[in-house]
């Protein structure tokens, strides 16, 4: 194992626990909480879905967050080297996969963050008022303007990570309370609109028969895998900088519950607004997809609301904060990997911004390409979750529980249930989820489901995963050959 590797220096730590918790919450709360959760609840049985969603919080999100916090705290290294150190050199490629998957998501996520910033600007300048949101979206998405906003989002996030963990902590302490405040204001506004009770009824009314539908359970599990950030490698990255005597279990539960609290508020906000303003179009709105709901329907709904321009600005500002804080964590993940490889932070960030601009450009200029990447690496995250569980098994799940999770600083001790979930339940969930999504994709394009160059096929997933796996195996071999050369963090 890479036991000789110097890890992150003691001076690079979160100054306070609030800093760690707020930064990690910022990572977890992203656009998926605001634009995906309400749609998925609405189209999957409302209250029944919520029951399954809360259950999987304990069977996927929290257990994996505990693993991530433990790995980061124990190894004090980025994903690839942390896997090598804790699960053995042969497991480094799994850490490499986790890192590569999050990096690929970062490339197109900065495009999404750019969209949010552009719409916030448009809501302030009044460009969205009185016009046709569909036409505005069509002329903007996929154009050179989207590339420019992608560059702006990337530059903003890099300027925060430039100052290291202290920069991340400072910005999280400002943006996350503001984000929470904005979402609370918007939710209160939505529930006080005439007719909003129908939205609450729709959101919370359970359809007990729906609980027999396996798709609802799989959608609830997917939502946990995609919107809590568990198993992405991002929590591991922030945990590198947590203080030595800091707790793991309470932090994990806190982040998971905080993330889901925001999702619930977003669900109330969106569905109450839809039911109060335009209940007749709810099927169209829910079926419009993430971008359709957010960038076409929400401006239309705000337009019809009293003081709608004001609340529309709040909505897109909240979305921008959510996107930026998540983007910051992804950039820190890549930066940390480069620092582990011997670069100083500033040079690493130079590489990240050049790489981000270059590899994000196709997603900025083509929605089909962005959707392809979202599909391929979204399913890839399930494999990342599986790899975390497997790496924990290689280290020894009970040993991890005893030596890290329940070690000094733990606010409460995690029982053996966690070991069982990580050893048996999470791997089973990951395999079932991946198989289900790939099976579903077969139905989307029955003729060309194996086609490697179409947007959402099984073929494109298999081809890109194969290339990624070859890359991470080679990368792990290269890291092994470099042996125990030092990390550059001390010189940054």
Partner 1 sequence: MSATAMIVMLAICGVVWGGFGAMLIWMALLERRISASMVAGEPDQ
Given the rule CB under 8 A, which residues bind partner 1?
Answer: 10, 13, 16-18, 21, 47, 50-51, 54, 197, 200-201, 203-206, 243-245, 247, 250-251, 253-254, 257-258, 260-261, 264, 411
Residue 268 or 422: which CB sits closer to partner 1? 268
Nearest distance, CB of residue 460 and partner 1, angstroms: 36
Nearest distance, CB of residue 66 and partner 1, angstroms: 14
Nearest distance, CB of residue 21 and partner 1, angstroms: 7
| C-alpha 349: how far from chain center | 21
Torsion over CA: 338, 344, 349, 354 (sign): negative
Residue 107 or 202: which CB sits closer to partner 1? 202
Cα–Cα distance, 261 to 267 (Å, whole number): 10
Residue 264 or 301: which CB sits closer to partner 1? 264
Nearest distance, CB of residue 204 and partner 1, angstroms: 4
Q: Name the helix (H) or strand (E) containing 415.
A: none
Nearest distance, CB of residue 406 and partner 1, angstroms: 16
Cα–Cα distance, 159 to 19 (Å, whole number): 18
Largest CA distance in the chain: 66
Contact present, 224 and 57 (Cβ < 8 Å): yes
Nearest distance, CB of residue 411 and partner 1, angstroms: 6
Instruction: Print burial letters for 18-57: b (CB count within 10 Å at least 16), e (below 16).
Output: ebbbbbbbbbbbbbbbbbbbbbbbbebbbbbbbbbbeebb
What is the Cα Rg of the chain in Å? 22
For every residue of 36-48, DSSP letters joined together read: IHHHHHHTTTBHH
Residue 54 or 469: which CB sits closer to partner 1? 54
Residue 410 or 456: which CB sits closer to partner 1? 410
Nearest distance, CB of residue 414 and partner 1, angstroms: 14
For every residue of 360-393, DSSP letters joined together read: HHHHHH-HHHHHHHHHHHHHHHHHHHHHHHHHHH
Give SS3 for 206. strand
Residue 201 or 403: which CB sits closer to partner 1? 201
Residue 128 or 286: which CB sits closer to partner 1? 286
């Amino acid at each position: 194992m890479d036991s000789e590797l110097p890890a992150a220096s003691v001076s690079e730590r979160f100054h306070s626990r609030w800093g760690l918790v707020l930064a990690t919450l910022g990572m977890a709360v992203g656009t998926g909480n605001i634009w995906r959760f309400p749609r998925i609840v609405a189209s999957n049985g409302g209250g029944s879905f919520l029951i399954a969603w809360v259950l999987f919080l304990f069977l996927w999100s929290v257990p994996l967050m505990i693993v991530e916090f433990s790995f980061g705290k124990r190894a004090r290294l980025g994903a690839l080297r942390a896997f090598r150190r804790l699960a053995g050199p042969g497991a480094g490629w799994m850490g490499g996969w986790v890192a590569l998957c999050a990096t690929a998501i970062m490339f197109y996520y900065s495009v999404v963050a750019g969209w949010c910033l552009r719409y916030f600007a448009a809501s302030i300048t009044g460009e969205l008022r009185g016009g046709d949101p569909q036409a505005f979206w069509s002329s903007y998405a996929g154009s050179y303007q989207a590339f420019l906003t992608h560059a702006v989002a990337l530059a903003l996030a890099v300027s925060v990570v430039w100052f290291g963990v202290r920069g991340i902590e400072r910005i999280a302490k400002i943006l996350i309370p503001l984000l929470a405040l904005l979402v609370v204001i918007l939710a209160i506004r939505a529930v006080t609109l005439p007719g909003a009770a129908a939205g609450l009824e729709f959101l919370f009314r359970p359809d007990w028969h729906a609980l027999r539908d396996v798709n609802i359970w799989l959608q609830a599990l997917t939502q946990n895998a995609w919107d809590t950030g568990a198993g992405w490698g991002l929590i591991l990255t922030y945990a590198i900088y947590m203080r030595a005597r800091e707790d793991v279990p309470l932090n994990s539960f806190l982040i998971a519950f905080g993330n889901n609290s925001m999702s619930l508020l977003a669900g109330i906000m969106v569905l109450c607004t839809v039911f109060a303003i335009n209940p007749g179009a709810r099927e169209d709105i829910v079926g419009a997809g993430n971008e359709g709901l957010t960038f076409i329907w929400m401006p239309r709904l705000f337009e019809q609301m009293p003081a709608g321009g004001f609340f529309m600005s709040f909505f897109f500002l909240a979305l921008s904060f959510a996107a930026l804080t998540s983007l910051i964590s992804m950039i820190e993940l890549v930066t940390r990997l480069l620092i582990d490889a011997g670069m100083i932070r500033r040079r690493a960030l130079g590489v990240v911004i050049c790489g981000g601009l270059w590899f994000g450009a196709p997603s900025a200029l083509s929605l089909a390409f962005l959707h392809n990447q979202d599909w391929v690496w979204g399913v890839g995250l399930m494999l990342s979750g599986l790899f975390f569980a497997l790496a924990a098994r290689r280290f020894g799940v009970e040993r991890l529980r005893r030596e890290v999770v329940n070690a000094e600083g733990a606010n409460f001790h995690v029982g053996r249930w966690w070991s069982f979930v990580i050893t048996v339940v999470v791997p089973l969930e990951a395999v079932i989820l991946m198989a289900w999504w790939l099976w579903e994709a077969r139905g989307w394009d029955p003729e060309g489901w194996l086609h490697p160059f179409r947007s959402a096929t099984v073929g494109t997933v298999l081809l890109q995963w194969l290339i990624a796996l070859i890359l991470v195996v080679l990368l792990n071999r290269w890291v092994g050959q470099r042996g125990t050369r030092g990390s550059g963090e001390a010189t940054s």
